[in-house]
Amino acid sequence: MPADVLEARGLGKRFGGLAACADVSLSVREGEVHAVIGPNGAGKSTLINLLSGDLRPTDGKILLDGRDVTVSGPHQRCRGGIGRSYQKTTIFPERTVFDNARLAAQATRPGALAMRCDGKRRADVREAALAALAEVGLEGRADTPAKSMSHGEQRQLEVAMVLATAPRLVLLDEPLAGMGHAEARRMTGLIASLKAGRGVLLVEHDMDAVFAIADRLTVMADGKVIASGTVDAVRRDPVVRAAYLGEAEEVA
């Protein structure tokens, strides 16, 4: 069995008296897509923010490739190998597609903050940026200003930026939100291809997509994990059926 890229143990986050996340344990292995589903307010976004370092957990532990990263901030987690996309596309809209990817590739390589060399002349950064753009299928758009691309393309670009940081684990927060059918299909294919050599944790509402690409599923409700396992096992779980899947399938 492949090793765990990420392991969360007993993760919890309280805002004042409110527990947005409590006692969440899960793992993501290399080569798998692990999807987290649940109704709105179940704590999925909080979980992803805890894993990426945007929020600091009040309880529990986070291990990345066996190293404890619980107290490190988002930039340290990124350098440790966690890359993420946001629910609301988070890119540099004023810059070109290539420049977006270049910044991402440069930021995690040695000399990321160098003050002597010219940033645009680094061959290794350039290659990594172009490779990341190729992986998401944006190699032809390198010179386009990011803001003039479609919503779907901007999301692809965000994924390319994550890939350019050479992550071990990719966190995707509702990557299909707001996409049309064709765009969503392309993105689903892209997500499925990301798991080669990496772990992917996916938070998504689109159940068709989740069932199509997830290897394992974790179901959350009220900040807690109510079921976890292979897709088939979770689908058969009576608690899940009652609490969530039935109504979600109606909606979908």
Where along the sequence are the contacts to other proteins (CB under 8 A)?
Answer: 52, 54, 73-76, 78-79, 83-84, 86, 90-92, 94-95, 102-104, 106-108, 111-120, 122, 161-162, 165
Which of residues 73 and 189 has its CB atom nearest to other proteins in the complex?
73
The C-alpha torsion from 161 through 167 and 172 to 176, rounded to 10°, is 50
Q: What is the DSSP string of 189-214?
A: HHHHHHTTTSEEEEE-S-HHHHHHH-
Q: How far is the CB of 120 from other proteins (least distance, A)?
A: 7
Q: How far is the CB of 114 from other proteins (least distance, A)?
A: 5
Q: How far is the CB of 90 from other proteins (least distance, A)?
A: 5
Q: How far is the CB of 121 from other proteins (least distance, A)?
A: 9
Question: Which residues are bridge partners to 75 per DSSP?
Answer: none
CB atoms closer than 10 angstroms to residue 195: 20
Which of residues 26 and 91 has its CB atom nearest to other proteins in the complex?
91
Token digits of residue 144: 């386009």
Q: How far is the CB of 45 from other proteins (least distance, A)?
A: 11
Which of residues 42 and 101 has its CB atom nearest to other proteins in the complex?
101
Q: How far is the CB of 107 from other proteins (least distance, A)?
A: 4
d(CA 109, CA 82): 14
Token digits of residue 96: 């070109």
Which of residues 3 and 114 has its CB atom nearest to other proteins in the complex?
114
Which of residues 120 and 236 has its CB atom nearest to other proteins in the complex?
120
Terminal alpha carbon distance of the chain: 34
Which of residues 165 and 228 has its CB atom nearest to other proteins in the complex?
165
Q: How far is the CB of 214 from other proteins (least distance, A)?
A: 23
d(CA 180, CA 185): 9
Which of residues 101 and 190 has its CB atom nearest to other proteins in the complex?
101
Q: How many helices (H) and strands (E) does the chain have?
A: 10, 10
d(CA 74, CA 80): 10
d(CA 225, CA 168): 24
Token digits of residue 235: 């689908």
d(CA 206, CA 120): 39
